[in-house]
Structure 1
Amino acid sequence: MFPHAGGSASSFRAYSAALSPRFRVLCVQYPGRQDRVRDALVDDVRELARGVAADLARLDDRPPAFFGHSMGAVIAFEAARLLQEATGRGPARLFASGRAAPARPARSTAPLVHLMSDADLTAHLRQSTATDPRVAADADLLKSILPPLRSDYRAVETYHCPPGRRIACPVTVLVGDQDPLVPLENAAAWSEHTSAHCELLTFPGGDHFYLLPSHDRVIEVIIDRLGRAPAPAAADGNGRSTRHVQP
Protein backbone atom coordinates (compact mmCIF):
# COMPACT_ATOMS: atom_id res chain seq x y z
CA MET A 1 0.00 0.00 0.00
CA PHE A 2 1.44 3.35 -1.09
CA PRO A 3 0.54 6.43 1.03
CA HIS A 4 -0.42 9.92 -0.10
CA ALA A 5 1.88 12.97 0.03
CA GLY A 6 2.82 13.62 3.65
CA GLY A 7 1.56 10.18 4.61
CA SER A 8 3.36 7.20 6.07
CA ALA A 9 2.92 3.47 6.47
CA SER A 10 0.71 4.10 9.50
CA SER A 11 -1.75 6.00 7.28
CA PHE A 12 -3.06 2.58 6.29
CA ARG A 13 -3.22 1.16 9.81
CA ALA A 14 -6.99 0.59 9.71
CA TYR A 15 -6.85 -0.87 6.20
CA SER A 16 -3.98 -3.18 7.12
CA ALA A 17 -5.87 -4.44 10.17
CA ALA A 18 -8.98 -5.15 8.09
CA LEU A 19 -7.14 -6.88 5.24
CA SER A 20 -4.45 -8.83 7.12
CA PRO A 21 -6.72 -11.77 8.06
CA ARG A 22 -6.95 -12.53 4.30
CA PHE A 23 -3.78 -11.07 2.80
CA ARG A 24 -0.18 -10.34 3.65
CA VAL A 25 -0.23 -6.53 3.82
CA LEU A 26 2.93 -4.49 3.24
CA CYS A 27 2.74 -0.72 3.68
CA VAL A 28 5.42 1.39 2.02
CA GLN A 29 7.36 3.72 4.30
CA TYR A 30 8.82 6.62 2.34
CA PRO A 31 12.21 7.96 3.52
CA GLY A 32 12.43 10.74 6.10
CA ARG A 33 9.54 9.85 8.43
CA GLN A 34 8.72 7.65 11.41
CA ASP A 35 11.13 4.67 11.54
CA ARG A 36 12.97 6.05 8.47
CA VAL A 37 13.33 9.56 9.85
CA ARG A 38 17.13 9.44 9.49
CA ASP A 39 16.97 8.47 5.81
CA ALA A 40 17.42 11.24 3.27
CA LEU A 41 14.23 12.55 1.73
CA VAL A 42 13.56 11.56 -1.90
CA ASP A 43 11.70 14.09 -4.03
CA ASP A 44 11.36 12.06 -7.22
CA VAL A 45 8.43 9.71 -7.96
CA ARG A 46 10.46 7.28 -10.06
CA GLU A 47 13.24 7.08 -7.49
CA LEU A 48 10.70 6.26 -4.77
CA ALA A 49 9.18 3.63 -7.06
CA ARG A 50 12.58 2.18 -7.91
CA GLY A 51 13.31 1.31 -4.28
CA VAL A 52 9.98 -0.47 -3.85
CA ALA A 53 10.29 -2.39 -7.13
CA ALA A 54 13.81 -3.53 -6.23
CA ASP A 55 12.65 -4.89 -2.87
CA LEU A 56 9.65 -6.68 -4.40
CA ALA A 57 11.73 -8.19 -7.21
CA ARG A 58 13.71 -10.08 -4.56
CA LEU A 59 10.60 -11.72 -3.14
CA ASP A 60 9.93 -15.18 -4.53
CA ASP A 61 6.22 -14.97 -3.93
CA ARG A 62 2.86 -14.63 -5.65
CA PRO A 63 2.45 -11.42 -7.68
CA PRO A 64 1.44 -8.62 -5.31
CA ALA A 65 -1.48 -6.25 -5.74
CA PHE A 66 -0.73 -2.54 -5.38
CA PHE A 67 -2.98 0.04 -3.72
CA GLY A 68 -1.88 3.67 -3.91
CA HIS A 69 -3.71 6.79 -2.82
CA SER A 70 -3.10 10.18 -4.47
CA MET A 71 0.68 10.52 -4.87
CA GLY A 72 0.89 6.86 -3.88
CA ALA A 73 -1.09 5.89 -6.98
CA VAL A 74 1.54 7.19 -9.41
CA ILE A 75 4.38 5.74 -7.32
CA ALA A 76 2.54 2.40 -7.42
CA PHE A 77 2.10 2.76 -11.19
CA GLU A 78 5.80 3.43 -11.73
CA ALA A 79 6.75 0.58 -9.36
CA ALA A 80 4.45 -1.75 -11.30
CA ARG A 81 6.11 -0.73 -14.57
CA LEU A 82 9.62 -1.21 -13.16
CA LEU A 83 8.72 -4.56 -11.59
CA GLN A 84 7.25 -5.69 -14.90
CA GLU A 85 10.45 -4.70 -16.73
CA ALA A 86 12.73 -6.36 -14.16
CA THR A 87 10.91 -9.66 -13.68
CA GLY A 88 8.62 -10.03 -16.68
CA ARG A 89 5.57 -9.88 -14.45
CA GLY A 90 3.97 -6.95 -12.72
CA PRO A 91 1.39 -6.86 -9.95
CA ALA A 92 -1.84 -8.82 -10.13
CA ARG A 93 -3.84 -5.59 -9.97
CA LEU A 94 -3.34 -1.89 -9.36
CA PHE A 95 -5.84 0.00 -7.22
CA ALA A 96 -5.37 3.67 -8.14
CA SER A 97 -7.15 5.82 -5.56
CA GLY A 98 -7.78 9.56 -5.57
CA ARG A 99 -5.52 10.35 -8.48
CA ALA A 100 -5.87 11.44 -12.09
CA ALA A 101 -4.27 9.17 -14.68
CA PRO A 102 -0.47 9.49 -14.81
CA ALA A 103 -0.39 11.54 -18.02
CA ARG A 104 -3.29 13.76 -16.90
CA PRO A 105 -2.85 16.60 -14.41
CA ALA A 106 -4.71 16.74 -11.16
CA ARG A 107 -6.86 19.86 -10.92
CA SER A 108 -4.27 22.61 -10.59
CA THR A 109 -3.52 24.50 -7.42
CA ALA A 110 -1.78 27.86 -7.37
CA PRO A 111 0.84 28.30 -6.15
CA LEU A 112 2.38 24.84 -6.33
CA VAL A 113 2.29 23.37 -2.84
CA HIS A 114 5.99 22.55 -2.73
CA LEU A 115 6.79 26.24 -3.39
CA MET A 116 4.59 27.53 -0.56
CA SER A 117 6.06 29.30 2.44
CA ASP A 118 6.18 27.33 5.69
CA ALA A 119 3.21 29.33 6.98
CA ASP A 120 1.12 28.62 3.88
CA LEU A 121 2.14 24.96 3.85
CA THR A 122 1.12 24.66 7.50
CA ALA A 123 -2.25 26.21 6.69
CA HIS A 124 -2.64 23.81 3.77
CA LEU A 125 -1.92 20.86 6.05
CA ARG A 126 -4.40 22.05 8.68
CA GLN A 127 -7.13 22.33 6.04
CA SER A 128 -6.71 18.73 4.90
CA THR A 129 -9.46 16.36 6.00
CA ALA A 130 -6.75 13.71 6.49
CA THR A 131 -4.91 15.71 9.17
CA ASP A 132 -5.55 14.55 12.72
CA PRO A 133 -6.84 17.56 14.73
CA ARG A 134 -4.28 16.74 17.43
CA VAL A 135 -1.50 17.10 14.86
CA ALA A 136 -2.96 20.36 13.56
CA ALA A 137 -2.89 21.78 17.11
CA ASP A 138 0.74 20.80 17.82
CA ALA A 139 3.06 23.47 16.39
CA ASP A 140 6.26 21.50 17.05
CA LEU A 141 4.89 18.36 15.43
CA LEU A 142 3.68 20.34 12.43
CA LYS A 143 7.16 21.82 12.02
CA SER A 144 8.68 18.32 11.89
CA ILE A 145 6.16 17.22 9.26
CA LEU A 146 6.84 20.06 6.82
CA PRO A 147 10.12 18.77 5.26
CA PRO A 148 8.76 15.36 4.17
CA LEU A 149 5.47 16.96 3.11
CA ARG A 150 7.27 19.52 0.93
CA SER A 151 9.51 16.79 -0.51
CA ASP A 152 6.51 14.63 -1.39
CA TYR A 153 4.72 17.51 -3.09
CA ARG A 154 7.86 18.37 -5.03
CA ALA A 155 7.99 14.76 -6.22
CA VAL A 156 4.39 14.63 -7.38
CA GLU A 157 4.19 18.19 -8.74
CA THR A 158 7.29 17.70 -10.92
CA TYR A 159 6.30 14.20 -12.07
CA HIS A 160 5.67 13.73 -15.78
CA CYS A 161 4.44 10.60 -17.50
CA PRO A 162 4.46 10.30 -21.30
CA PRO A 163 1.03 9.54 -22.80
CA GLY A 164 0.59 5.87 -23.61
CA ARG A 165 2.99 4.48 -21.00
CA ARG A 166 1.28 1.28 -19.86
CA ILE A 167 1.35 -1.60 -17.44
CA ALA A 168 -0.11 -5.04 -18.15
CA CYS A 169 -2.29 -5.61 -15.09
CA PRO A 170 -5.96 -4.70 -14.52
CA VAL A 171 -6.56 -1.31 -12.91
CA THR A 172 -9.32 -0.42 -10.47
CA VAL A 173 -9.68 3.35 -10.10
CA LEU A 174 -11.40 4.65 -6.96
CA VAL A 175 -12.37 8.28 -6.46
CA GLY A 176 -14.78 10.39 -4.45
CA ASP A 177 -17.28 12.04 -6.78
CA GLN A 178 -16.80 15.35 -4.93
CA ASP A 179 -12.99 15.26 -5.08
CA PRO A 180 -11.88 18.80 -6.04
CA LEU A 181 -8.49 17.53 -7.21
CA VAL A 182 -9.51 14.71 -9.54
CA PRO A 183 -11.96 15.41 -12.40
CA LEU A 184 -13.75 12.18 -13.26
CA GLU A 185 -12.69 12.32 -16.90
CA ASN A 186 -9.05 12.42 -15.79
CA ALA A 187 -9.62 9.51 -13.41
CA ALA A 188 -11.23 7.51 -16.24
CA ALA A 189 -8.11 8.11 -18.35
CA TRP A 190 -6.27 5.43 -16.34
CA SER A 191 -7.59 3.14 -19.11
CA GLU A 192 -4.92 4.68 -21.34
CA HIS A 193 -2.21 3.27 -19.07
CA THR A 194 -3.06 -0.43 -19.03
CA SER A 195 -3.29 -3.07 -21.71
CA ALA A 196 -5.76 -4.93 -19.48
CA HIS A 197 -9.17 -4.14 -18.04
CA CYS A 198 -9.82 -0.81 -16.28
CA GLU A 199 -12.80 0.16 -14.15
CA LEU A 200 -13.71 3.43 -12.44
CA LEU A 201 -15.53 3.30 -9.09
CA THR A 202 -16.98 6.53 -7.73
CA PHE A 203 -17.91 7.03 -4.09
CA PRO A 204 -20.92 9.36 -3.71
CA GLY A 205 -20.25 12.41 -1.55
CA GLY A 206 -16.58 11.56 -1.11
CA ASP A 207 -13.85 14.21 -1.23
CA HIS A 208 -10.14 13.60 -1.81
CA PHE A 209 -9.90 11.54 1.37
CA TYR A 210 -13.06 9.52 0.79
CA LEU A 211 -11.03 6.54 2.11
CA LEU A 212 -11.79 7.57 5.69
CA PRO A 213 -15.63 7.55 5.67
CA SER A 214 -15.81 4.81 2.99
CA HIS A 215 -13.41 2.43 4.74
CA ASP A 216 -15.76 -0.58 4.89
CA ARG A 217 -16.88 -0.29 1.28
CA VAL A 218 -13.32 0.09 -0.02
CA ILE A 219 -12.27 -3.01 1.93
CA GLU A 220 -15.15 -4.92 0.30
CA VAL A 221 -14.01 -3.77 -3.14
CA ILE A 222 -10.40 -4.86 -2.53
CA ILE A 223 -11.43 -8.29 -1.24
CA ASP A 224 -13.87 -8.77 -4.11
CA ARG A 225 -11.45 -7.77 -6.87
CA LEU A 226 -8.60 -9.88 -5.52
CA GLY A 227 -10.88 -12.88 -5.16
CA ARG A 228 -12.10 -12.98 -8.75
CA ALA A 229 -10.46 -13.83 -12.05
CA PRO A 230 -9.37 -10.81 -14.13
CA ALA A 231 -12.14 -9.53 -16.39
CA PRO A 232 -11.44 -9.72 -20.13
CA ALA A 233 -10.73 -6.41 -21.80
CA ALA A 234 -13.26 -5.07 -24.27
CA ALA A 235 -12.38 -5.31 -27.94
CA ASP A 236 -12.05 -1.57 -28.57
CA GLY A 237 -9.02 -1.81 -30.83
CA ASN A 238 -6.61 -1.22 -27.97
CA GLY A 239 -7.68 -4.04 -25.68
CA ARG A 240 -8.88 -1.56 -23.06
CA SER A 241 -12.17 -0.81 -21.42
CA THR A 242 -13.47 1.37 -18.63
CA ARG A 243 -16.53 0.66 -16.52
CA HIS A 244 -18.11 3.28 -14.30
CA VAL A 245 -19.42 1.71 -11.10
CA GLN A 246 -20.98 3.14 -7.98
CA PRO A 247 -20.00 0.65 -5.27
Structure 2
Amino acid sequence: MAVPVTGSAWVKCFHRSVAGAPRLICFPHAGGSASSFHWLSQALSPAVEVLALQYPGRQERLVEEPIDDLYALVDRVVPEVRKWCDRPFALYGHSMGATLAFETAGRLEQTGLKPQILFVSGRRAPRRGAESERYRLDDEGLIEEIKRLNGTDAGVLDSDELIRMVLPTIRSDYRAIETYRYRPQPARACPVVALAGDHDPDTEIADVEAWREFTTGDFTLHTFAGGHFFADDNKEQVGAVVAGHLTPGAAR
Protein backbone atom coordinates (compact mmCIF):
# COMPACT_ATOMS: atom_id res chain seq x y z
CA MET A 1 0.00 0.00 0.00
CA ALA A 2 1.39 3.40 -1.00
CA VAL A 3 2.27 5.59 1.98
CA PRO A 4 0.93 9.17 1.82
CA VAL A 5 3.20 12.10 2.66
CA THR A 6 0.34 14.19 4.01
CA GLY A 7 -3.45 14.39 4.21
CA SER A 8 -6.17 13.10 6.51
CA ALA A 9 -8.35 10.05 7.00
CA TRP A 10 -10.40 11.12 3.97
CA VAL A 11 -7.75 12.72 1.73
CA LYS A 12 -4.32 11.32 0.86
CA CYS A 13 -1.36 12.97 -0.87
CA PHE A 14 1.44 10.66 -2.06
CA HIS A 15 3.96 13.12 -3.54
CA ARG A 16 5.18 16.63 -2.74
CA SER A 17 4.41 19.45 -5.13
CA VAL A 18 5.82 22.91 -5.81
CA ALA A 19 4.40 25.80 -3.81
CA GLY A 20 1.01 26.92 -5.11
CA ALA A 21 0.63 23.99 -7.53
CA PRO A 22 -2.95 23.38 -8.72
CA ARG A 23 -4.71 20.49 -7.03
CA LEU A 24 -6.32 17.47 -8.66
CA ILE A 25 -8.71 15.75 -6.25
CA CYS A 26 -9.36 12.13 -7.27
CA PHE A 27 -12.38 9.91 -6.57
CA PRO A 28 -11.81 6.12 -6.75
CA HIS A 29 -14.00 3.52 -8.42
CA ALA A 30 -16.28 1.06 -6.60
CA GLY A 31 -14.10 -1.08 -4.36
CA GLY A 32 -11.16 1.22 -5.03
CA SER A 33 -8.93 3.06 -2.60
CA ALA A 34 -6.84 6.22 -2.60
CA SER A 35 -3.77 4.27 -3.70
CA SER A 36 -5.41 3.52 -7.07
CA PHE A 37 -4.30 7.05 -8.02
CA HIS A 38 -0.72 6.72 -6.82
CA TRP A 39 0.46 6.34 -10.42
CA LEU A 40 -1.27 9.57 -11.47
CA SER A 41 0.21 11.44 -8.51
CA GLN A 42 3.65 10.20 -9.50
CA ALA A 43 3.09 11.20 -13.13
CA LEU A 44 1.90 14.75 -12.39
CA SER A 45 4.05 15.75 -9.42
CA PRO A 46 5.56 18.16 -8.60
CA ALA A 47 3.72 20.44 -11.06
CA VAL A 48 0.29 19.28 -9.81
CA GLU A 49 -0.64 18.25 -6.29
CA VAL A 50 -2.71 15.09 -6.62
CA LEU A 51 -5.01 14.26 -3.72
CA ALA A 52 -6.98 11.01 -3.55
CA LEU A 53 -10.05 10.28 -1.47
CA GLN A 54 -10.11 7.34 0.91
CA TYR A 55 -13.70 6.23 1.49
CA PRO A 56 -14.56 4.32 4.69
CA GLY A 57 -14.27 0.52 4.60
CA ARG A 58 -10.92 0.02 2.83
CA GLN A 59 -7.21 -0.18 3.60
CA GLU A 60 -6.49 1.60 6.91
CA ARG A 61 -10.23 2.43 7.18
CA LEU A 62 -11.25 -1.20 6.75
CA VAL A 63 -12.88 -1.41 10.20
CA GLU A 64 -15.19 1.50 9.37
CA GLU A 65 -18.63 0.83 7.91
CA PRO A 66 -18.74 1.56 4.15
CA ILE A 67 -21.40 3.98 2.90
CA ASP A 68 -23.90 2.32 0.56
CA ASP A 69 -25.82 5.43 -0.53
CA LEU A 70 -24.13 7.76 -3.01
CA TYR A 71 -25.86 10.93 -1.82
CA ALA A 72 -24.92 10.08 1.77
CA LEU A 73 -21.33 9.65 0.59
CA VAL A 74 -21.50 13.06 -1.12
CA ASP A 75 -22.66 14.56 2.19
CA ARG A 76 -19.53 13.20 3.86
CA VAL A 77 -17.11 13.94 1.04
CA VAL A 78 -17.98 17.59 0.31
CA PRO A 79 -16.84 19.05 3.69
CA GLU A 80 -13.55 17.14 3.36
CA VAL A 81 -12.93 18.33 -0.19
CA ARG A 82 -13.77 21.95 0.70
CA LYS A 83 -10.73 22.01 3.00
CA TRP A 84 -8.49 21.65 -0.06
CA CYS A 85 -10.14 24.26 -2.31
CA ASP A 86 -7.98 27.19 -1.22
CA ARG A 87 -6.10 27.19 -4.53
CA PRO A 88 -7.04 26.30 -8.14
CA PHE A 89 -8.38 22.75 -8.17
CA ALA A 90 -9.89 20.15 -10.47
CA LEU A 91 -11.80 16.93 -9.80
CA TYR A 92 -11.13 13.51 -11.36
CA GLY A 93 -13.36 10.48 -10.84
CA HIS A 94 -13.28 6.99 -12.33
CA SER A 95 -16.44 4.88 -12.71
CA MET A 96 -18.44 5.33 -9.48
CA GLY A 97 -15.96 8.06 -8.63
CA ALA A 98 -16.96 10.01 -11.74
CA THR A 99 -20.56 10.27 -10.56
CA LEU A 100 -19.40 11.16 -7.06
CA ALA A 101 -17.08 13.85 -8.45
CA PHE A 102 -19.93 15.22 -10.59
CA GLU A 103 -22.25 15.52 -7.59
CA THR A 104 -19.46 17.02 -5.49
CA ALA A 105 -18.74 19.60 -8.19
CA GLY A 106 -22.39 20.64 -8.10
CA ARG A 107 -22.36 21.14 -4.35
CA LEU A 108 -19.13 23.13 -4.53
CA GLU A 109 -20.38 25.37 -7.33
CA GLN A 110 -23.48 26.15 -5.28
CA THR A 111 -21.18 27.72 -2.68
CA GLY A 112 -19.05 29.62 -5.19
CA LEU A 113 -16.21 27.10 -5.49
CA LYS A 114 -15.79 26.29 -9.17
CA PRO A 115 -13.45 23.47 -10.21
CA GLN A 116 -11.15 24.34 -13.10
CA ILE A 117 -12.11 21.05 -14.76
CA LEU A 118 -14.24 18.01 -13.99
CA PHE A 119 -12.64 14.81 -15.34
CA VAL A 120 -15.11 11.92 -15.69
CA SER A 121 -13.56 8.56 -16.53
CA GLY A 122 -15.10 5.21 -17.44
CA ARG A 123 -18.64 6.23 -16.57
CA ARG A 124 -21.79 6.91 -18.56
CA ALA A 125 -23.50 10.25 -18.11
CA PRO A 126 -26.44 10.42 -15.70
CA ARG A 127 -29.76 9.15 -17.09
CA ARG A 128 -27.97 7.04 -19.72
CA GLY A 129 -28.86 3.36 -19.57
CA ALA A 130 -30.36 1.14 -16.92
CA GLU A 131 -28.20 0.21 -13.97
CA SER A 132 -27.45 -3.43 -13.27
CA GLU A 133 -27.96 -4.80 -9.77
CA ARG A 134 -24.65 -6.49 -9.17
CA TYR A 135 -24.84 -5.72 -5.48
CA ARG A 136 -27.59 -8.36 -5.27
CA LEU A 137 -25.35 -11.14 -6.64
CA ASP A 138 -24.13 -13.88 -4.33
CA ASP A 139 -20.44 -13.82 -3.43
CA GLU A 140 -19.40 -16.09 -6.30
CA GLY A 141 -21.33 -14.04 -8.83
CA LEU A 142 -19.89 -10.78 -7.54
CA ILE A 143 -16.36 -12.15 -7.70
CA GLU A 144 -16.91 -13.21 -11.32
CA GLU A 145 -18.18 -9.74 -12.15
CA ILE A 146 -15.09 -8.14 -10.61
CA LYS A 147 -12.86 -10.48 -12.63
CA ARG A 148 -14.75 -9.57 -15.81
CA LEU A 149 -13.95 -5.90 -15.31
CA ASN A 150 -10.35 -6.59 -14.18
CA GLY A 151 -10.81 -4.08 -11.40
CA THR A 152 -9.12 -5.83 -8.50
CA ASP A 153 -5.61 -7.19 -8.15
CA ALA A 154 -5.52 -10.89 -9.07
CA GLY A 155 -3.64 -11.68 -5.85
CA VAL A 156 -6.63 -10.44 -3.84
CA LEU A 157 -9.11 -12.51 -5.84
CA ASP A 158 -6.96 -15.62 -5.50
CA SER A 159 -6.89 -15.35 -1.71
CA ASP A 160 -10.06 -16.48 0.03
CA GLU A 161 -9.10 -14.57 3.17
CA LEU A 162 -8.45 -11.31 1.33
CA ILE A 163 -11.52 -11.46 -0.85
CA ARG A 164 -13.74 -12.06 2.18
CA MET A 165 -12.26 -8.92 3.73
CA VAL A 166 -12.92 -6.64 0.76
CA LEU A 167 -16.10 -8.12 -0.74
CA PRO A 168 -18.51 -6.38 1.69
CA THR A 169 -17.01 -3.01 0.77
CA ILE A 170 -17.21 -3.75 -2.97
CA ARG A 171 -20.85 -4.83 -2.58
CA SER A 172 -21.63 -1.67 -0.61
CA ASP A 173 -20.03 0.53 -3.30
CA TYR A 174 -21.98 -1.25 -6.03
CA ARG A 175 -25.18 -0.67 -4.10
CA ALA A 176 -24.32 3.03 -3.79
CA ILE A 177 -23.80 3.56 -7.51
CA GLU A 178 -26.48 1.16 -8.75
CA THR A 179 -29.22 2.70 -6.60
CA TYR A 180 -28.14 6.26 -7.48
CA ARG A 181 -30.80 8.24 -9.28
CA TYR A 182 -29.96 11.56 -10.87
CA ARG A 183 -31.82 14.53 -9.39
CA PRO A 184 -32.42 17.34 -11.92
CA GLN A 185 -30.12 20.28 -11.25
CA PRO A 186 -28.29 23.06 -13.11
CA ALA A 187 -25.53 21.98 -15.48
CA ARG A 188 -21.98 22.35 -14.21
CA ALA A 189 -20.31 25.65 -15.02
CA CYS A 190 -16.86 24.06 -15.18
CA PRO A 191 -15.50 22.37 -18.32
CA VAL A 192 -15.95 18.59 -18.45
CA VAL A 193 -13.28 16.25 -19.83
CA ALA A 194 -14.45 12.66 -20.39
CA LEU A 195 -12.16 9.65 -20.74
CA ALA A 196 -13.23 6.21 -21.93
CA GLY A 197 -11.93 2.82 -23.03
CA ASP A 198 -12.95 1.78 -26.53
CA HIS A 199 -13.76 -1.77 -25.37
CA ASP A 200 -15.34 -1.06 -22.00
CA PRO A 201 -17.96 -3.79 -21.45
CA ASP A 202 -19.88 -1.52 -19.09
CA THR A 203 -19.81 1.84 -20.87
CA GLU A 204 -20.62 2.74 -24.47
CA ILE A 205 -18.69 5.67 -25.96
CA ALA A 206 -21.98 7.40 -26.88
CA ASP A 207 -23.05 7.26 -23.24
CA VAL A 208 -19.76 8.84 -22.15
CA GLU A 209 -20.07 11.53 -24.80
CA ALA A 210 -23.48 12.42 -23.31
CA TRP A 211 -21.62 14.14 -20.45
CA ARG A 212 -21.53 17.18 -22.74
CA GLU A 213 -25.18 17.75 -21.76
CA PHE A 214 -24.14 18.38 -18.16
CA THR A 215 -21.87 21.39 -18.57
CA THR A 216 -22.31 24.93 -19.82
CA GLY A 217 -18.54 25.03 -20.34
CA ASP A 218 -16.32 23.24 -22.83
CA PHE A 219 -16.55 19.49 -23.33
CA THR A 220 -13.79 17.17 -24.52
CA LEU A 221 -13.82 13.39 -25.02
CA HIS A 222 -10.67 11.26 -25.06
CA THR A 223 -10.78 7.56 -25.92
CA PHE A 224 -8.11 4.98 -25.20
CA ALA A 225 -7.51 1.39 -26.18
CA GLY A 226 -8.82 -0.89 -23.45
CA GLY A 227 -11.69 -1.85 -21.22
CA HIS A 228 -13.19 -0.42 -18.07
CA PHE A 229 -9.79 0.09 -16.44
CA PHE A 230 -8.13 1.42 -19.60
CA ALA A 231 -5.79 3.65 -17.60
CA ASP A 232 -3.93 0.59 -16.29
CA ASP A 233 -2.56 -0.01 -19.81
CA ASN A 234 -2.33 3.65 -20.85
CA LYS A 235 -0.87 5.43 -17.84
CA GLU A 236 1.56 7.58 -19.81
CA GLN A 237 -1.11 8.67 -22.29
CA VAL A 238 -3.78 9.33 -19.66
CA GLY A 239 -1.30 11.24 -17.52
CA ALA A 240 -0.32 13.37 -20.51
CA VAL A 241 -3.98 14.16 -21.30
CA VAL A 242 -4.72 15.19 -17.74
CA ALA A 243 -1.53 17.26 -17.51
CA GLY A 244 -2.36 18.98 -20.79
CA HIS A 245 -5.79 20.07 -19.59
CA LEU A 246 -4.41 21.28 -16.27
CA THR A 247 -1.92 23.58 -18.00
CA PRO A 248 -3.04 27.18 -17.30
CA GLY A 249 -5.27 28.45 -20.09
CA ALA A 250 -5.59 25.05 -21.79
CA ALA A 251 -9.17 24.34 -20.69
CA ARG A 252 -11.64 26.91 -19.50
TM-score by length of 2: 0.85
Counterpart of 1:90, as a letter, is K
Deviation of 1:128 after TM superposition, in Å, equals 3.0
Q: Give the paired residue count.
A: 227
Q: What is aligned with 2:29?
A: 4
Partner of residue 83 from structure 1, selected from 105, 108, 130:
108
**1:228/1:63 CA distance change after superposition, 3 Å:** closer
Deviation at 1:58, TM superposition (A): 3.2
Q: Which of 78, 100, 107 is the equivalent residue of 1:53?
A: 78
Partner of 2:212: 191
1:9-39 Cα deviation digits (max 9, x unpaired)? 1111211221222111110011111121222
Contact 1:100 1:186 in 2 (8 A): yes
* CA drift at 1:59: 3.8
Q: Match of 1:208?
A: 228
- Aligned counterpart, 2:245: 225
What is the CA–CA distance in structure 1 between the aligned matches of 2:85 and 2:99, rounded to whole Å?
24
Deviates more, 1:11-20 or 1:210-219: 11-20
- Given residue 45 of structure 1, which amino acid in structure 2 is its aligned partner? L
Shift of 1:165: 4.2
- Deviation per CA, 1:108-162: give whole Å up to 9, x if none: 54xx110001121122223332322211211110011111100000000011114
Q: Are 1:23 and 2:43 an aligned pair?
A: no
Query: In the alignment, what sits opposite 1:38?
Result: 63
Which residue number corresponds to residue 96 of structure 1? 120
- Offset of residue 8 of structure 1: 0.6
Structure 2 unaligned segments of length 5 or more: list them. 1-25
Counterpart secondary structure, 2:233:
coil
Asked whether the equivalents of residues 50 and 82 of structure 1 are also in contact (C-alpha less than 8 Å), the reply is no
Pairwise CA RMSD of aligned residues?
1.7
**% same residue:** 43
Q: 1:43-97, CA deviations, whole angstroms, 9 ceiling, x for partnerless residues? A: 1112222222212223461131111000000000001111111x31221101100
Shift of 1:228: 3.8
